[in-house]
Amino acid sequence: MLALSNDSATRSVANFATAPEPLEAWVATFEHASAVYPWLVAKVGERVVGFARGLSHHVRGAYAWSADVSVYVAYDAHGQRIGTRLYERLLPTLQAQGYATLLAGITVPNPASERLHERFGFVRCATYHRVGWKFGSWRDVGYWELHLHTREDAPQAIEPVHAVWDRGPASGSAGG
């Protein structure tokens, strides 16, 4: 996963890291977040060709039912529906856990990522202009949102990832 992310950081504007990130930082994030945010890996044989994960949107308590999502696919594996298969598992898992809103930040333009998110029901809700400087120019980031639960009643506590996965595979469409 880190190799894919670092490859994207060094050759793409899709990842706003401007230098490779150290393994220690990823391990610390995984250890802190993986109980309440799923992390998924797509492999072909023994090779990791993609990953998707949820992470905290913000740390203050009222944001507990919102999560950021991201997906990365190896450049030579684009167009093979790997991102789709990852989101087919990630999004229903987050919904089953009790998350209400998912957010995805996409450096724009990125037609493939925009189409992927829209295929799953994400709607563009905002653009942050000139928020990142990379490869010699300012970059805009669009935000897409997906409402998993539209109820107005008080939300329940977020379930741990393992509790949802222990019940069986999460599948189906998210949204609604």
CATH number at residue 63: 3.40.630.30
**Is pLDDT above 90 for 46?**
yes
Token match 């087919």: residue? 88
Is 175 among the domain residues? no
Domain that holds residue 85: 2-166
Q: How many domains does the chain have?
A: 1
CA distance 75 to 8: 9
Is 76 among the domain residues? yes
* pLDDT tens sequence across 79-89: 999 999 999 99
Nearest to 97 by CA among 123, 69, 120, 117: 69
CA distance 101 to 68: 9
Is 171 among the domain residues? no
Is 95 among the domain residues? yes
- Mean pLDDT score, 153-176: 78
Give 33-38's long-range contacts (Cβ < 8 A, gap of 24+).
Answer: 34/161, 35/160, 35/161, 35/162, 36/97, 36/158, 36/160, 36/161, 37/67, 37/94, 37/161, 38/89, 38/90, 38/93, 38/94, 38/161, 38/165
Is 16 among the domain residues? yes
Is 31 among the domain residues? yes
* pLDDT tens sequence across 93-115: 999 999 999 999 999 999 999 99
CA distance 112 to 75: 12
Is 173 among the domain residues? no
pLDDT grade, residue 175 (50/70/90)? very low
pTM for the predicted model, two decimal places: 0.91
Is 33 among the domain residues? yes
